[in-house]
């Protein structure tokens, strides 16, 4: 969920703070008047008539939101809203983040930890499909605008609608309605492509696919991710991995393999692609020779790329090839002595080996066998110390240092009674974990 974390951006809807917002009742009356104008044969052939209707629907869309706008702070809204007070206030959690929810007659306002309005949720819309109706009106305006005199206004209006659909999609995502979010993002794509000067909102295409994929609606998600590939919008290779997962779940294994291999050629360091390929070879029973062949090509193209050897080590590690994994991890550090990840890989390999031995020992009732396993367990833990400490000294990233310190704290704690050096090690790394650097 790194992108998603993924992969879904925070969109700010900017409104002019002192703009007069129509009341829902006035907005509805304006729509009814504008609709009546379009039913007049003489007026219906004028693009301005349809633009006025589109604008009326947009006013109706905005009316229930009150005077607030995303990004406004509490102080600004207190001044603008005057005597309008929330009927209730409560703390809520959305997508793992804490918000203060204020309830009003037609909307809910959600304020983030910085007391800024982050989400506006309309609870009493004038029209449930105001954006759809506004888009239809703009398209009708374009149809009757034979001279193209209103092209600029129509184009701006439709692109504004597309942005509103994206905002709706983001809100639906935050509220956990992923199916609705996908539909909103799709509408954003359709709108932007319908404008007089059409454009493709690649992020909306990706988000439509991503939210559909999250709901396991694979048939819906597939065309969006394929479109992303056609547009070259691949999110550092994640689109390949998602599309392969879709093919796998639709029992189209050969297509999954092909798309993963294509992705690996372009993004050999993408962990989602690597894991997908490894899972394919494990499930299919095929030998992973092709995977290593692809990696060899990448290494020939970039012989001094230490991360490629780290990837090779990671693949061997996941396939259970311990010695080959260690050799590749060491090679990555040999190529670039400042590259810490190969050393971290070795440390984690030994640490995980120790955990497996500990689990094995917990189910062994023969004392002699138990003692033998525990000897191996302690040896694996001690083997992890050197690569972890080398990585700790190499890395310049304090967050990585703290993560390594967590491993070392646990290891030294195990041996703290075996000598002063272990007690000192435990105290050192325990302090770093608790207090940072």
Q: What is the pTM assigned to this prediction?
A: 0.74
- C-alpha atoms less than 13 angstroms from C-alpha of 335 in its C-beta half-sphere: 18
Q: Tell me which residue has tokens 């890395």.
A: 395
**Other CB atoms closer than 10 Å to residue 138's CB: what's the count?**
32
Q: Which tokens hold the place of 189?
A: 């794509």
Give Cα 72 distance to the centre of its chain.
25
Of 123, 124, 198, 188, the C-alpha closest to 160 is: 188
**Residue 280: its pLDDT value, please?**
84
DSSP string, 7-36: ----------TTPPPPPHHHHHHHHHHHHH
**Residue 318: its pLDDT value, please?**
87
Q: Tell me which residue has tokens 């290494």.
A: 299
- C-alpha atoms less than 13 angstroms from C-alpha of 68 in its C-beta half-sphere: 31
DSSP string, 187-235: HHHHHHHHSSS----HHHHHHHHHHHHHTT-HHHHHHHHHHHHHHT--G
Residues 6+ apart with CB under 8 A from 375: none
CA angle, 339 then 342 then 347, to 5°:
125
In Å, how far are 110, 192, 365, 395, 411 from 350, measured between CA atoms?
A: 47, 52, 24, 20, 11
- C-alpha atoms less than 13 angstroms from C-alpha of 29 in its C-beta half-sphere: 5
In Å, how far are 17, 67, 131, 272, 314 from 31, measured between CA atoms?
A: 24, 20, 13, 50, 61
- DSSP, collapsed to helix, strand or coil, labels residue 210 as helix
Of 20, 42, 282, 57, the C-alpha closest to 161 is: 57
**Residue 295: its pLDDT value, please?**
83
Rounded to whole angstroms, how far apart are CA atoms 132 and 184?
Answer: 11
Rounded to whole angstroms, how far apart are CA atoms 263 and 65?
Answer: 44
- pLDDT values of the chain reduced to their tens digit, one per residue, 437 residues: 334 433 443 333 333 333 456 899 999 999 999 999 999 999 999 999 999 999 999 999 999 999 889 999 988 888 888 888 999 999 999 999 999 999 999 999 999 999 999 999 999 999 999 999 999 999 999 999 999 999 999 999 999 999 999 999 999 999 999 999 999 999 999 999 999 999 999 999 999 999 999 999 999 999 999 999 999 999 999 999 999 999 999 999 999 999 999 998 899 888 888 888 877 877 777 777 877 888 888 888 788 989 889 989 998 998 899 999 999 999 999 999 999 999 999 999 999 999 999 999 999 999 999 999 999 999 999 999 999 999 999 999 999 999 999 999 999 999 999 999 999 999 999 999 999 88
**Residue 160: its pLDDT value, please?**
96
Rounded to whole angstroms, how far apart are CA atoms 384 and 244?
Answer: 35
Q: Tell me which residue has tokens 């993924």.
A: 6
**Residue 256: its pLDDT value, please?**
95
**Other CB atoms closer than 10 Å to residue 333's CB: what's the count?**
24
SS3 content of the chain, % helix, strand, coil (to 5): 70, 5, 25
**Residue 20: its pLDDT value, please?**
55
């Amino acid at each position: 969920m790194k992108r998603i974390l993924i992969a879904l951006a925070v969109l700010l809807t900017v409104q002019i703070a002192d703009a007069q917002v129509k009341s829902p009742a006035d907005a509805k009356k304006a729509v009814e008047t504008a609709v009546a104008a379009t039913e007049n044969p003489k007026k219906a052939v004028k693009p301005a008539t349809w633009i006025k209707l589109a604008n009326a629907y947009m006013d109706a869309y905005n009316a229930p939101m009150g005077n607030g706008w995303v990004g406004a702070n509490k102080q600004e809204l207190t001044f603008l809203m005057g005597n309008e007070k929330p009927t209730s206030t409560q703390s809520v959690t959305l997508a793992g983040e804490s918000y203060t929810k204020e309830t009003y007659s037609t909307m809910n306002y959600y304020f983030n930890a910085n007391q800024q309005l982050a989400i506006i949720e309309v609870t009493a819309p004038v029209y449930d499909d105001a954006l759809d109706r506004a888009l239809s009106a703009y398209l009708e305006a374009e149809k009757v605008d034979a001279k193209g005199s209103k092209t600029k206004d129509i184009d701006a209006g439709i692109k504004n609608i597309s942005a509103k659909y994206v905002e709706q999609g983001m809100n639906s995502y935050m509220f956990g309605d992923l199916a609705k979010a996908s539909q909103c993002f799709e509408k954003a794509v359709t709108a932007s492509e319908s404008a007089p000067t059409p454009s493709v909102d690649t992020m909306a295409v990706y988000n439509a696919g991503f939210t559909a994929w999250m709901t396991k609606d694979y048939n819906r998600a597939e065309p969006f991710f394929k479109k992303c590939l056609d547009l070259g919008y691949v999110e550092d290779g994640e689109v390949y991995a998602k599309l392969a997962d879709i093919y796998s779940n639709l029992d189209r294994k050969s297509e999954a393999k092909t798309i993963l291999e294509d992705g690996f050629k372009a993004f050999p360091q993408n962990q989602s692609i690597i894991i997908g390929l490894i899972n394919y070879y494990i499930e299919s029973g095929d030998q992973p020779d092709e995977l290593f062949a692809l990696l060899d090509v990448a290494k020939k193209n970039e012989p001094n790329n230490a991360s490629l050897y780290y990837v090779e080590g990671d693949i061997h590690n996941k396939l259970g090839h311990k010695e080959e994994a260690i050799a590749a991890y060491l090679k990555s550090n040999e190529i670039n002595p400042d590259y810490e990840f190969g050393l971290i890989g070795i440390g984690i390999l030994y640490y995980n080996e120790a955990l497996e031995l500990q689990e094995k020992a917990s189910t062994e009732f023969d004392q002699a066998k138990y003692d033998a396993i525990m000897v191996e367990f302690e040896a694996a833990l001690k083997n992890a110390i050197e690569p972890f400490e080398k990585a700790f000294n190499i890395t310049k990233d304090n967050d990585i240092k703290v993560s390594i310190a967590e491993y070392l704290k646990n290891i030294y704690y195990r041996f703290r009674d075996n000598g002063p050096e272990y007690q000192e090690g435990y105290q050192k790394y325990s302090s770093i974990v608790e207090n940072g650097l």
